[in-house]
Amino acid sequence: MKHTFLLLLLFFTTLQLSAVPATPYPILHQQPDGSKVELYLHGDEITHCLADEAGYVVMKDVDGFFKYVNKDYSLSVRRVGDLLAGATLNVKEWLASERVSQARKNAPERPKRLAGYPKEGNPPGLVILVNFADCEFIIPDAQKAFSRMLNEPGYSDNEATGSALDYFRACSQGKFSPRFDVVGPYTLPGKIEDYGYNNQWNGSDGNPRQMIVDACAAADAAGLDFKIYDTDEDDIIDNVFVYYAGYNEAEGAPENTVWPHRSVVSESMVQGSVVFDGKTVYDYACTSELNGYTGSTMAAIGTFCHEFGHVLGLPDYYHTQDSKVKTLGYWDIMDRGSYLNNSKTPPAYSSYDRFFIGWLTPRELTQPEYVALEPLTHADSVVDVSNQALLVAAKEHNMDGANPNPNEFFMIEYRKKTGWDAYLPAEGIIFWHIDYNSRVWRMNMVNDYRETHNGATDHMRVYIEPRTSTKNYNPTPFTSGDFEPVLWNGTSLGKPITDINVTEQKAYFTFMGGENLDAPVILDSLTQHYATGFTITWSKVWEEESEVNGYYVVVKNKEGVEEERIWTTDTVMTVSGLEYDQEYTYMVETAYKNGSYEVRQPSEERVFVTAKENKKLEISYSPDNNVLIIYKDNKDAVVGVYNMAGRKLHIINEKNNLVYLDLTSYLPGQPLLLQCEKKAAKFVVP
C-alpha cells in the first residue's frame, strides 16, 4: 500500500510564522524493534521533514519504522540505511518540486503589523509559563528560575554568559532594557498534542495559537492585569511570550510537540475570547522549558532571544525551506547562532541588525580614508560607534535602517571572540552585503535562494562576503588582503578596500586609496636647541592619534643619511646624544602605518649644528610653573641636586632627556648645584 507523502508539500498557511531553525545536531530515534537511527531535522515550524545524513527524506510507516520516500512521494519499502539513491527523494528535490513551488507562490504575505513592541526604554514584557494536561514543568520554582534567567544582571547559572536583559542591553548600548514579567505556571486544558500535532497538509503545528489564548485565559483567571502590556495604548497587547512545559520539536522532540516560533493570533482560528481587560491578544512568541530532547536541562536564552528578535521586527536569516542550504550559520542569532554554546551564548546582534532596529547609525564612507576599525561594542551604555559600524553605498545613503535607500549597500564591522561573540566561528572584519526588499522581509524569505550558488538574480539578501569565492558558500571574516564592493548585478562601486590588517585592538584598511595627508608645521618658537640635541614641537595633524596614526621625527647627518627615525603619537619630542660639532637636519613626518605599508608626508627641514664642546649641564628656568628644566645627553643618567656644602638634597632618576625640578620646596635666593655624570651647573632659586 502506498502512503502519499503530503507532509512534503510546502506549507500553505493563512498567517505566516517566524521560527527558530531546526537544530543542526543529529537526533537519535528509537524504532519499534529497539534499533536506533540518527536523523537530521530540516526546515522550521512552517515546514520541516526528517532526512538521513546524506539528505534523503524519511518518514514513519504505519508501524513506526522510518523509511525512505520515493520520488513520486510514496513511501518506500526500504528502511533507513537501505538506500536506493536513484529512486529516493532528497531534500533539495523536495524543495524544487512543482507542488512545493506552486504552494509557495500561493502563500500570502505576513501581516504588516510586525512589531508593536517598543524598541527602546524599559517596556514590560509578558512571559507566561504553562503546563499541559499531560506534561508539567520539572524545573523547581520555575517562575523564579525563568525570571532570573531573563532579568538578572550577570546571570551565570548553568555557565550562562548572562541574562536576556544583559543580552539586549549589550546589543542596544543600554537603549533597550525590557522588564520581563514572568507568571505561572498555569495548567492548560489541552494535552501537548492538542496544540502541537503536525498538520498533515503542511507539517506545521496544528493549533499553537490556541495554546496562546488558553495561556492568556489562565493568566486572566489568576488576576493578571493585561492593560500593563499595551504600552502604546492601541488596545492590542504588545506581545505575549509563552514558555511551555517539556521539550520542543525544533530540537528533536516528538512531532506532536510545539515548534518555537513567533506569529499572530486570529480570532477565527481559536476558541474562546482573545480579549482580556479590554486588550486583544495578537502578537506572540513561544519556546519550551527544556533544552534538547532528553534530560532535564533548563532552556537557555538562545531561542528566547531569537524569537524575541522577531518581536523587535527582525526576520529569519536561515533558508526557511531547506536547512541544508548554507546561509549565515552561527554568525547571526537570526540564523543558527541561537544554538551557540548550547544556546547559552548567542552572538551579539550585527551592526546591520542594530541599524535595522534603530539602535545604531553607521558612519558612511564616501571619501578616501585610512580607517581604524574598533570591535563592535557590547557595552551596555551609549558609546561612539563612528569607527565601529561603517556603511558603503553607490550614492549617499538615507541612513534609515528600516527603509534604506539605496536598498543595496554594504556594512563593515570588526568582530572579536569575546563576550557574547566568544563562540563565533572566527574573528576579523565582516563585510555585510544587504539587498533590502520590503516584501521579501515581510514574507520572511530573506535568504531563501534556489540556485546552487548566490548569483545576480537569486541570492541571499543578508550576506557575509566570503574571503574566497567557492562553489560552497562559506562566510568568513577578512584578516588581510583586499575587498571590492560589487553589487549583485556585477557593478563595482569603485570604492576599493585595500591593505586589510587586523590587530588585537583594532582592524585597519585603506578606503579608496587613502586620504592625502597634511604635512606638520614645525613651531620654531617652541623649539629648543641644546649642545647635543633639541626639543621639537609641531602642529597637530591627526584628529586622533593612534598606533597607526602618528608622526615620525627624522634626523639626518650632513651626508643625508638617517641617524634617527622615532615614532610618536605626541606633538613634542626631545632628541639627544648627537655628536659634537656636527651639522644635522631634522623634520617631522605625518604618518599612517597599518602593518602592511606606510604613508608619510614630511614637514620642511631644519638645520642644526651641535656645540663644539660642552662640559656644563644645560638648564633653563620656567617661571610659569616655577620649575627648572634640565637637559641630559644620556636619558638614563641620574641628576643630583646639592647645596653649596655638598649635601645631597634631591635625586632625579627619570629616564628622559628632559627632566624637571620643582622649586616650590626651595627658598628664594637659595643656591643649588646640579650634577649629571661629568657635567654640572649652578642655579640660584628666583
443: CB partners within 8 A, 6+ apart? 16, 107, 109, 110
The full length of the chain comes to 686
Instruction: Detail the DSSP E strand segments found in 612-678.
Output: 618-622, 627-631, 639-642, 648-652, 658-662, 671-676
Q: If you write DSSP's letter for every residue of 158-222 in order, what string do you get?
A: GG-S--HHHHHHHHHTTSB--EEEEEEEEE-SS-HHHHHPBPTTTSSBS-HHHHHHHHHHHHHHT
| 52: confidence class by pLDDT, cuts 50, 70, 90 | confident
Higher pLDDT, 86 or 494: 494
| 663: confidence class by pLDDT, cuts 50, 70, 90 | very high
The average pLDDT across 378-390 equals: 90
CATH 2.60.40.10 residue window(s) in the chain? 524-609
pLDDT digits (tens, 9 = 90+) for 581-627: 999 999 999 999 877 678 899 999 999 999 888 778 999 898 989 99
| 77: confidence class by pLDDT, cuts 50, 70, 90 | confident
**CA–CA dist 29, 66 (Å, integer):** 9
Residue type, 339: Y
pLDDT digits (tens, 9 = 90+) for 422-431: 999 999 999 9
Q: What percent of the chain has pLDDT over 90?
A: 58
Highest mean pLDDT among 41-45, 79-83, 274-278: 274-278
User: The domain 524-609: what is its CATH number?
Assistant: 2.60.40.10
The three-state secondary structure class of 674 is strand
The average pLDDT across 304-326 equals: 86
The average pLDDT across 349-367 equals: 97
Q: What are phi and psi of 267, to 5 degrees?
A: -60, -30
pLDDT digits (tens, 9 = 90+) for 202-214: 556 678 899 999 9
pLDDT of amino acid 18: 60
Torsion angle of alpha carbons 656, 659, 665, 668, nearest 10°? 160
Nearest to 607 by CA among 524, 516, 493, 670: 524
Angle (CA) 651-654-656 rounded to 5° is: 135
Q: Which residue has the cell 516528538?
A: 254
Higher pLDDT, 685 or 471: 685
User: Which strand (E) or helix (H) includes residue 95?
Assistant: helix 91-96
| 14: confidence class by pLDDT, cuts 50, 70, 90 | very low
Question: Domain 618-684 belongs to what topology?
Answer: Immunoglobulin-like (2.60.40)
